[in-house]
Structure 1
Amino acid sequence: MSLYGTMRTGVSGMNAQANRLGTVAENIANSSTVGYKKASVQFSSMILPTTAGSYNSGGVETDVRYSISSQGTFSYTTSSTDLAVNGDGFFIVQGSDGVDYLTRAGSFVVQDDGTLQNSAGYTLMGYEYSSTVDPTIVVNGFDGLEAINLSSAAISATASTVGALNVNLPSNAEVGDAETTSLVAYDSQGNSRLLEFTYTKMADNTWEVSAEYAGPPATSVIAATTVTFDSDGQIVSPTSLLTTAFTVDGAEMGALTLDISTSSQLAADFSVEEGEIDGNAASSVTGYKINEAGVVSVVYDNGELVPKFRIALASVQSPDNLNPIAGNLYTQSNDSGVIVMGYAGTSGFGSIVSGALEDSNVDVAEELTAMIESQRNYTANSKVFQTGSELMETLVNLKR
């Protein structure tokens, strides 16, 4: 039986080296694939029971492993939606079947429907952004995730609601003297509306502030307030100016609350120390910006940056034991551990790099070396098989 065992051992060795050559071929073929993690074959001996008078040769077993936890280098691009994770974590993407997967391949492109899809056609998932608090995240699952969709951001107009107008009024002005300034506000349709403010001295430490909308179609008073100062020239009351809402050309110019709390009355010329109002005119999208925390913002042609979504990341205790599937995707396995969700930059997760892609972690020179080794080892094992075959033939011919 030992001759048959010798041949089986040779075949086992050839199969093992063939498996190794298979991973080498796959690694070299994907050496330029974004986010690809190299495969390798681990060898272990297979021992068969023997008797005192006969040795039973065993063989070799192979186990294919993926270096998923090994990060590749970065290649920088000109697209802000090309993403890489610097550190631990995986993007969550969803296929057309509605199933969520993990990936490190971040070559995302904005589609006609506003979604971000990578080169394999999987959609990037995240949470709708909130300026006050991070979206509640389901730590141990994909519940609550939604496709990052920028289709609603094609054009934007924001009506003005608050602002600030802090000035210095000359304390040496005569009663009846007046000073004027103006601010631009935006109505509900994004039209700019010019608001004029007039400061008239009524008495010592007392001024009247009036605000007018300077048409068309007509000029209308939208605020009138008496402002008083103390003996040091600091404002006493009021600390804010409230205008009334009005309708013009079918659009609503809402009420404005303007902070005037740091206005002063000092022996200096009239000056505007602070003058601003929120809101913006109708603006089209010029691009997108994604910061290292994964906040996806829309850039408008007026320079405004509006955050819309936040990218979620996932991690597992043993990423090298994830199940790899086609498209540079991974799914959870019994050995990988549970999936933990989080955000970039938080504990256990790396940061997101915009305008970059993670390269394959394949070293082509190392793979070519492994290919030569496997070729030589395959040949050596074939010689063992050939020798066993020749000896078997000799044994059969003994009876002739």
Structure 2
Amino acid sequence: MSISSSLNAGVAGLAANATRLAGISDNIANSGTFGYKRVDTDFESMVINQARGAGLYSAGGVRATTSRLIDEKGSLVASSHPLDIATSGRGMLPVMPSVLLGSGMGDRQMMMTSTGSFRPDAEGVLRTDSGMVLMGWPANLDGSIPVHPRDSVGGLQPVVLTQNQTSADPTTRVTLGINLPANATRPGAAGVPETTAVEYYGPLGRSENMFITFTPAIPTGPAASNAWKMEIRDGNGPAASVLGSYELAFDGSHSGGGTLQSVTTLSGGAYDPATGALSLTVLGGPVTMNIGRPGDVGGLMQLDSAFAPTNITKNGSPAGHLMTVEIDEHGMLRAAYDTGFIRTIYQVPLVDVPNPNGLIALNNQTYQVSPTSGSFYLWDAGDGPTGAVEGYAREASTTDVAAELTDLIQTQRAYSSNAKVIQTVDEMLQETTNIKR
């Protein structure tokens, strides 16, 4: 009966608009919630098929469907803390509830969030106030990231910072920029050796020295020899052990005067003319010493000037205490120490799925994969479809309060209209009842 279908359609309209009102209420309530993704409500008509020409129409009503627009990105809000983290573009941060700490990720479902204010707890675990723990891949001691499966959570571990931790960066590279006096290789010169010390750091952060002695070759003829013997000793070794001994020849021509011409290895690590580097082995480990390539300006030079170590640089640092931790756009979590040493300690990958809107929404702005979302993949930030990781930032709610209030007015009017339909049907049924009287 058409009048009964009108009543059912009115009731369906009330239920549909009540559902829309619930979504609007949720959106407005979370307009200030970082990382909140708004709920959208769509209406779909329900049609009851009937024969043509029957002269009657039965109302099918309406059905409401809700979806959370997870692929929408809120604006980034700057903060003053380096561990306020958000993603710009596609991809989310992997997290896990703190109650699961100690049990490992195992075969558990992947959980993710688009932003979080992470702080170390009493054990140094980075987590939010709601108990979401940031996950990442631990780095090796040299700062490199091991290879992990990208379609599994097995390699992810909770990011842990130890505030009182110390670390040292051993020296692996030294560059020499030294001028040797050209007059020391002329006939009749005194042949006085020149010595300089180069500091380096061992694997335990201890400061050591290499002593480099340059002895000029005195010519027997009328021309300058332009040759030197270089001997490198390790001050940390027994009886100042010799690391290497080399014969240096410098160019005295107009075109390349003063530059290194050739290096002959007498003992120790070999010289590579393609890179200008010596391969040395100190007690702390291997060290590459760059003295310059033949014909290049820089490195070791021989000019008519005093002996001058003009530019000696090295990497490494002594043992230092952790000062701060920051994350870069590639998801690399780097620790800075009070000695100036910066070391990569974790990489935080970005999680992506084929259909972000198919993710299951959980509490605290976290999401979980589902059959609708598709399988996840762990990307390096900036690779594939993913965006960058932003420190000192939070993602704002995607709620537009003005648009929600406009929808609220429309929903209120639609709800009132459906209620009016029910009231009208009730009056018509009353009239039908009165016919019998």
Matching of residue 259 in structure 1 with residue 290 in structure 2: yes
Q: Which among 309, 312, 335 is matched to residue 346 of structure 2?
A: 309
Q: Which amino acid aligns with 1:60?
A: V
Residue 171 in structure 1 maps to residue 191 in structure 2: no
User: Residues 350-384 of structure 1, C-alpha deviation per residue, up to 9 Å, x if partnerless?
Assistant: 11121111111110011111111111111111111
Aligned position for 2:159: 148
Which amino acid in 2 is paired with 1:343?
A: D
The answer as to 2:231 corresponding to 1:221 is no
Of the structure 1 ranges 156-165 and 52-61, higher mean CA displacement relative to structure 2 is found in 156-165
| 1:48 has 2:67 as partner | no
- Identify which of 122, 126, 130 aligns with 1:112: 122
**Match of residue 121, structure 1, among 125, 131, 138:** 131
- Structure 1 CA distance, aligned partners of 2:430 and 2:2? 14
Aligned match of 1:376 = 413
Contact 1:153 1:298 (8 Å CA) reproduced: no
Higher mean alpha-carbon deviation, 318-327 vs 147-156, is at 147-156
Change (3 A) 1:85 1:225: same
Answer yes or no: is 1:237 the counterpart of 2:264: yes
After superposition, give the CA deviation of every residue in 1:202-236 in whole Å (9 maximum; x if it has no partner): 534233535463x9xx9953437353324535242
For the pair 1:364 / 2:401, whether they are aligned, the reply is: yes
- Residues 302-325 of structure 1: CA distance to partner in whole angstroms, max 9, x if unpaired? 222111111111212221222212
One-letter amino acid matched to 2:174: G
**TM-score, normalised with respect to structure 1:** 0.88
Superposition deviation, residue 65 in structure 1: 1.1
Helix, strand or coil at the partner of 1:399: coil
Match of 1:28 in 2: 28
Q: Which amino acid aligns with 1:128?
A: P
> Is 195-204 or 104-113 further displaced after alignment?
195-204
> For the Cα contact (< 8 Å) 2:212–2:230, is it kept in 1?
no
Alpha-carbon shift at residue 256 of structure 1 (Å): 4.9
Question: Gaps spanning 5+ residues in structure 2: where?
Answer: 219-224, 253-257, 266-270, 272-277, 293-298
- 5+ residue gaps in structure 1? 246-252
- Equivalent residue number for residue 324 of structure 1: 361
1:9-30 Cα deviation digits (max 9, x unpaired): 1111111111011001100111
Q: Identify which range, 318-327 or 378-387, moves more after superposition.
A: 318-327
Q: In 1, are the aligned partners of 2:279 and 2:286 still within 8 Å (CA)?
A: no
2:359 is equivalent to residue 300 of structure 1? no
Secondary structure at 1:345 match in 2: coil
Alpha-carbon distance in structure 2 between the residues aligned to 1:256 and 1:278: 10
Q: Quote the Cα distance in structure 2 between the aligned partners of 1:304 and 1:53.
A: 85
Q: Does 1:352 align with 2:389?
A: yes
Query: How many corresponding residue pairs?
Result: 390
Which of 229, 244, 247 aligns to 1:207? It is 229
Aligned-pair identity (%): 30
Residue 93 of structure 2 corresponds to which residue in structure 1? 91
- Structure 1 residue 152 displacement after superposition: 8.4
Aligned partners of 2:203, 2:148: CA distance in 1, in Å? 34
Contact 2:84/2:393, CA 8 A, preserved across alignment: yes
- The farther-off stretch of 119-128 and 150-159 is 150-159
The 1-side partners of 2:301 and 2:215 are apart by 14
- Measure how far apart 1:153 and its partner are: 7.9
Task: Identify the range of structure 1 (57-66 vs 186-195) with the bigger mean alpha-carbon deviation.
Answer: 186-195
2:84 aligns with 82
What do residues 259-295 of structure 1 show as CA deviations (whole Å, max 9, x unaligned)?
Answer: 3344233322212243233321111111112111111
Once the 2 structures are TM-superposed, how far is the Cα of residue 33 of structure 1 from its aligned partner?
A: 0.9
Partner residue of 1:157? 168
Are 2:395 and 1:395 aligned?
no
Counterpart residue identity of residue 259, structure 1 = N
Contact between 2:144 and 2:344, CA under 8 Å: does it hold in 1?
A: no
Q: Structure 2 counterpart of 1:315, which letter?
A: D
TM-score for the superposition, normalised by structure 2: 0.81
Matched letter for residue 3 of structure 1:
I
- The amino acid across from 1:111 in the alignment is D
Contact 1:68 1:319 (8 Å CA) reproduced: yes
CA contact (8 A) 1:210 1:221 kept: no
| AA partner of residue 423 (structure 2) | Q
Secondary structure of 1:221's aligned partner: coil
- Work out which of the residue numbers 374, 377, 384 in structure 2 matches 1:337: 374
TM superposition shift of 1:327: 1.6
Residue type at the aligned position of 2:206: N
SS at match of 2:426: helix
Paired residue type of 1:88: R
1:68 aligns with 2:90: no
